[in-house]
Structure formats: structure tokens, C-alpha cells
Amino acid sequence: MNITVIYIGAALVIGALVAFFISKVVRKDSETKISTYMITSGIMLIAGAFPGTKEIIIGMFAELLKIDMKTETDYVMIACGFVLIGFGYYYERNIRDRIHILNMLGIPVQKEISDENNIKDLKLDDYKVKEFIIDISGIYDNNMDCKRNDIIVEKINKSATAFLNRSRGFKSGFTGMAPIPYTIYAGSYLAGGEIRRYFEYSRQNSKYYELKEKAGKRTPFPDIDITMPRHLNINATDVVVALSVTMKVRDTDLAQFSSMDIIRIDTDETKDNLIISLEQLDKYAGYVNNKLEEIKGTYPNLIKVHLVAAIPSCLSLELGKLFALNVHRLPQIVAYHYISSSQKKYPFGIVVADGQGKNRGKLVKR
């Protein structure tokens, strides 16, 4: 009975030390806690298997109770310790290899990236994919009003911030088919994250594909260039930037902006799924951002850029990230949504960059 008491007392002391150590080194992430607990417990088991560790504690109790005890190395505890460390390391490695994907749903028929067929097409491990969804399909309406816009903007604010916090330290990616203004806006909240994997949907093949790291020497991607108006109104406070990548922004669709200077930024070729690599994406996004900065120098009185764009979701998000990082170098930017059935093809937009910050997310009707 006395020996049992000794072992119980020793176990309580060791357990308290282990718990204290874990509380100091473990992160708040519950999934990481499991692996850290296993590794820490394994180390403590191995340490406790040798005379001089647990025996010191047990000896203190034995001496108090005046009991003679022999000590020896516990090889079973050592084996169990190594097993725990092995499982903990394996679990940690698999958790760290998990990819967090943010998916912006803008149309009711859009599929989740974690759908079985999509996972198979992308050659991802189902258990490694953790998907976060921003679903605005039930709120968005072509006749957008301030109330609906405010709900969407608030939803994006909270969801993007939560995604940043939960995906920190993990690989992260993005996909979506939401309206361009809201995707750019979401990007402005993700500038501090590590999204470097993009999944685009090919309507032609009805499948998702992932952007490669580089395009490859045998498949050079189309260049991108800017065309300024022949006659600049250098005193203008507002200008239009028409950005064409997936399709050409037509002059007839810009009739509502006819009183403004129209600046065009176009790729040499325009088509769906034109962007196939991160190298290409970075070049296009960087070029657009740099030209917007230069435009501010060309028009000394410039206050606002009206951005009309035909671009994929990956470029929309990257532009939003760059706008947030360079906001004080840029004019106010309003990104517009295209509606083919509307008399005015760009009936509304939202402020996606604003140096003062107070107007970001504000609805703009034309």
C-alpha cells in the first residue's frame, strides 16, 4: 500500500512538471498542441526511465516513509517514450504540410475546392486541405445598395482576418468566382498573409488547375503594356484605367466614362485562364501597381482612378494585396463590377484603395 502511494505521489509531481512545461511551449493552436504533447510526454518518459530522475522524486517519498527501494532503468518506459516522440513528429509534420485555402463564393453553382473531384483533379491529399469559405452569393445582387454592400464588406473583413489568423504558419492558397471589386477588396485584408498558391477554374475543361511556379522557357507568357490617351487632360481629377487580361474591355462599354481620360493596360493576348504561373501573376500585378503610381505623377491633380477590369481571381487578389501595401503612394481607387445586361455596363463599384482609409469598402454608384 505504501509503495502504491509513493508511485501515485511521484506520478502527480512528474505530471505537474510536464503540464507546466507544455503550458509554456505549446501554441494556442489545438492541433499543434497534440503533437507537442506527444513529443514532450515522450521526452519525459525517457528521462524518467533512468535512475536519478523519477527515482529522486520517488526516493524522497520513500525516505519520508522509511522504505528501502532499489532503482533500475525502465526500458519499457524508454521504448514508449520513443514511440510517442515518433508519433508526435509524424503528426507535426503532417499538420505543417496542411494547406489552408480561402474560397470566395460569388455564384450559387460554384463548387467548393474540397469537393472530391476537385481534390482529385488538383492531386491534393484530402486530409491535408482545410477550406475556409466566404460566401456572398446569397447577399450579392446586381441592383446593389448600401445595405447589401455593407453586409458583404463586413463579412469579408471578419472572414479574411480570421483566415489570416488561422492559416498563420501554414501553406495557404486562394480560389474564387466572386465579383472583381470584392475580390480585390478581400486582397487588401490579406496583404499580411502568405497566400502563394492559386487555384483557377477552367470553364473549358470544367476543372480547377493550380498556378505553376514558373511558366517555362518553351511557353513564354504574353507581355503587358500601357496605352495613354493621345491628348492628356493633365488637370483631370478623375481618370479611367481599363485593365484587360481575360477579355478586352470594349470602348462601347465605357460610354458612361466618356468625359474622362481612358488609360488602357492590356496583355498582348486576352483569354480565359491566360495566367498559368506565379511568375506571370507577379509580373502582371507588379506592372499594374507601378503604372497606377506613375499615373498619379502624370496627373498632378488626380484624386480618383476608376478601375474597370476583366481579370481572373488570382490577379484580383494580388492587386488588392499590393494596393494595401502601397496605399499612400496611390490615388483613391474604385473598382467596378461589369453587368452585360445593364444599360450602364459598370453600374457600381467599391473603394478598394484609399490613403485616408475611411472610405475603403464604400459603395459607389454611377
Mean pLDDT taken over the chain: 83
Q: What residues are paired with 103 via a beta bridge? A: 133, 175
**Mean pLDDT of the region 279-296:** 96
Of 345, 218, 226, 203, the closest CA to residue 274 belongs to 203
| Cβ neighbours, 10 Å, residue 126 | 9
Indicate the domain borders of the chain. 2-96, 99-365
**Mean pLDDT of the region 68-77:** 62
| pLDDT score recorded for residue 118 | 79
Evaluate whether 4 touches 27 at the Cβ level (below 8 Å). no
* pLDDT higher than threshold 50 for residue 337: yes
- pLDDT band per the 50, 70, 90 thresholds, residue 26: very low
pTM score > 0.85 for this model? no
| pLDDT score recorded for residue 199 | 94
- Name residues whose C-beta falls within 8 Å of residue 220's C-beta, 6 or more positions apart in sequence: none
**Mean pLDDT of the region 51-73:** 61
Taking the CA atoms of the chain, what radius of gyration do you get in angstroms? Answer: 29
- Name residues whose C-beta falls within 8 Å of residue 319's C-beta, 6 or more positions apart in sequence: 184, 187, 285, 288, 289, 311
Q: Across the chain, where does the E strand assignment appear?
A: 99-105, 129-135, 171-176, 195-202, 207-210, 224-227, 238-244, 261-267, 304-310, 332-337, 348-353, 363-365
**Mean pLDDT of the region 238-254:** 97
d(CA 337, CA 356): 23
| pLDDT score recorded for residue 332 | 96
> Among 58-62, 75-79, 246-250, whose mean pLDDT is lowest?
58-62
- In the sheet where 348-353 sits, what is the strand order? 224-227, 261-267, 238-244, 304-310, 332-337, 348-353, 363-365
Per residue in 130-166, pLDDT tens?
Answer: 889 999 999 999 999 999 999 999 999 999 999 999 8
d(CA 57, CA 42): 19
* pLDDT higher than threshold 90 for residue 43: no
Give the amino acid at 317.
Answer: L
> Among 66-80, 119-133, 320-334, whose mean pLDDT is lowest?
66-80
Query: What long-range pairs does 76-82 form, CB within 8 A, spacing at least 24?
Result: 76/49, 77/45, 77/46, 77/48, 77/49, 78/45, 78/46, 78/49, 80/42, 80/45, 81/41, 81/42, 81/43, 81/44, 81/45, 81/46, 81/47, 81/49, 82/42, 82/46
* pLDDT higher than threshold 50 for residue 5: no
* pLDDT higher than threshold 90 for residue 354: yes
Evaluate whether 119 touches 207 at the Cβ level (below 8 Å). no
* pLDDT higher than threshold 70 for residue 312: yes
d(CA 120, CA 208): 10
* pLDDT higher than threshold 80 for residue 101: yes
| pLDDT score recorded for residue 99 | 86
| pLDDT score recorded for residue 170 | 84
Q: What residues are paired with 351 via a beta bridge? A: 334
d(CA 47, CA 9): 18
| pLDDT score recorded for residue 116 | 76
| pLDDT score recorded for residue 251 | 94
| pLDDT score recorded for residue 110 | 67
| pLDDT score recorded for residue 27 | 43
d(CA 160, CA 149): 16
Per residue in 186-242, pLDDT tens?
Answer: 999 999 888 999 999 988 888 899 999 987 777 789 999 999 999 999 999 999 999
**Mean pLDDT of the region 52-63:** 60
- Rounded percentage of the chain residues whose pLDDT exceeds 90: 57
